[in-house]
Structure formats: C-alpha cells, structure tokens
Amino acid sequence: MGNMEKKGRIIKSISGFYDVLDNDSHELIRTRARGNFRKRGIKPVVGDFVEYDASGDLGYILEILPRTNSLVRPPIANVDQAIVVTSSVEPNFSSNLLDKILVNIEHNGIDPLIYLTKTDLLDDDKYQELKKIFDGYNRAGYVVFTDRDPYNQEQIDRLESHFADKVTVFTGQSGAGKSTLLNHINPELGLATAAISQTLNRGKHTTRQVSLFEIADGLVADTPGFSSLELISIEKEELPTLYPEFVEYSGECQFRGCNHVNEPGCMVKEKVADGTIMQSRYDNYLYFLNEINSYKKRY
C-alpha cells in the first residue's frame, strides 16, 4: 500500500470530488475524501496539501496535512500572499480601510501586495499625491503597484513575477476593480469573478466555489476574499506586530512589549515624529487599538 500513497494539493472541489494536483507528476487526479473525515469533523478545502491513494479509478484522500492558515471566505487553505486591490477613486482611497485590510492579512500569516486601480481617472496633481502616499507604504515594507496606466502589460508582468511557487488570492472593497485586474491576468479568472459577484445574493450565504488556476508557475484563486473586516480576533498585544515598520524599530524601544502609545523612550513614536513612519499609519493604529479595546468591553 505504501507505494500507492502520493502527495498533492487540492486545486478544485466539486460536490464531494476533489481535484488534486500531484506534487511529483503534476497530473490532475480526481479524488473523494475518506468517510471518516466527516466523523473527525474535518473538511478538505481548496489549497490543502493531502496524502492520497490513486490505485483505483478514483483516488482517495487519506490525510490532510497541517495547514499554515485557512480562510473562511473564500474557503481556502495555505495561502501565501494576497493582492490588495485598492481603488484611487469611486470608491475613493481610504488609508483606514487599506490599513485594516493589511492588518487582517498579516494576522492570517499572509503577505500583502498593494495594487492601485483607476489611477487613469485622476488628474496629475491627485495622482502625484496618491503616489507619494504609496511610496510610504513601499518604504514600510510593502510591494506596491502604482503605475499611471493601471493595467499596462509591464506592470501586469511585474505582478505575475510574484506568483511563482505561491498561492495568491485577491481582495479589496467591492468596486475596486478586482475582476478587471483578474481579467488582465487571465480572462478565465475575470469571467468567473464577474459571474460570482452578479449571482451573489447579499445576506444569503451562497457557498462560493473557489478554484486555483496555474499561472506564472504559481496558483491563483479565482475568487476574491476577505469580505469581513472585523478586528475581533486580534488581541491588542498582537496589533503592533502586524505593522512591519513598527516591528523594524520596536527592538529599540525602551520597554519590551511597548505598545507605542504612552510609553517613554518609544522608538516607533520617534520615527513617526521624524517622518520615517507615516503619520496616517500610526493614526490608524491608534484607531484600531481603540476599536479592539471597545470590543473587549462589549464581550
């Protein structure tokens, strides 16, 4: 039996069947989950690494390997990075919303990259102003995409150069241009997304299928995710660790476990004061801390 056991990754699930991409042969094998999974309260999801047996006509998933992370919307495991699609206008850019999305993504152990859309709708002054803000995000440690022509081929190629050997999801508020961006990467992706957003009934929890497409030596999810943006699951001690530029300087704070609020000898606050860390990022941090504290009182 041992020699029949193989490893792979689920890249699609259709009503009880799971398509597994084999690690070695790179073939696609259709499988079912073993009956005892349900008893154990385990459900395989797209993105899962699995051990499976392919000796029969239909493969069987024997074991789901430990996950590094998993998302509920869309249901997907072992995500490496998220492209945060951020609109410059209609809806207008909001640093508070962007920072909230970034914090949530960091909390899930996922690398965020920021992609600015609708820059072609801005006049030059407004564009330069936004570009300056995003240069700040770049200095804070994020990869940013801010070209004047948002979907030019060179920028799309640069985005795709980050896909290799990773699982990538897309996120951002509705109307930010996720489908359009997915369309420029691969028309199949964009079509899937557009159809989903049209049939998505607000309020009803439609089970949204998610599939991973092989693109540029990586796997890309066709379903935008992260619709919920509550900070409930984040503890206030964790919040400062979700800001890469705070982490960079917190070792030089006078106190270990400095919250960067009222403590003396805080290097993070010094870096905000001298402009190294963006004031808006710090203001949003204080705002989120406050939000987390008010949750704690309510529950």
Summarize the annotated binding site as residue ranges.
117-120, 172-180, 253, 258, 260, 266
CA distance 77 to 94: 29
**What is each CA distance from 64 to 188, 213, 284, 286, in whole angstroms?**
29, 21, 39, 40
For β-strands 17-22 and 5-14, DSSP reports them as antiparallel
Structural domains in the chain, sorted by start: 2-66 (2.40.50.140), 71-221 (3.40.50.300), 239-298 (1.10.40.50)
Radius of gyration for the chain, computed over Cα atoms and rounded to the nearest angstrom: 21
Residue 159 pLDDT > 50, yes or no?
yes
Q: Read off the tokens for 162.
A: 């980050």
If you write DSSP's letter for every residue of 96-115 in order, what string do you get? HHHHHHHHHHHHTT-EEEEE
Answering whether pTM is above 0.85, one says: yes
Banded model confidence at residue 41, pLDDT cuts 50, 70, 90: confident
Phi then psi dihedrals of residue 139, to 5 deg: -65, -30
Banded model confidence at residue 49, pLDDT cuts 50, 70, 90: very high
Mean pLDDT of the chain: 89
Quick one: which H or E segment has residue 295?
Answer: helix 279-298
Summarize the annotated binding site for GTP as residue ranges.
117-120, 172-180
Q: Read off the tokens for 204.
A: 């009803």
Banded model confidence at residue 196, pLDDT cuts 50, 70, 90: low
If you ran DSSP here, which 8-state letter would residue 181 be given? H
Residue 203 pLDDT > 50, yes or no?
no
Q: Read off the tokens for 47.
A: 């993105």
Question: pLDDT above 70 covers what percent of the chain?
Answer: 89
Residue listed under structure tokens 């249901």: 75
**Is there a contact between 188 and 222 (Cβ–Cβ < 8 Å)?**
yes
Question: pLDDT above 90 covers what percent of the chain?
Answer: 71
User: What pLDDT score was predicted for residue 146?
Assistant: 98
User: What pLDDT score was predicted for residue 158?
Assistant: 98
Cα 250 to the center of its chain, rounded Å: 25
CA distance 71 to 69: 7
pLDDT in tens, 213-243: 999 999 999 877 655 566 768 999 999 999 9
If you write DSSP's letter for every residue of 249-288 in order, what string do you get? HHTTSSSTT--SSS-TT-HHHHHHHTTSS-HHHHHHHHHH
Banded model confidence at residue 265, pLDDT cuts 50, 70, 90: very high
Summarize the annotated binding site for Zn(2+) as residue ranges.
253, 258, 260, 266
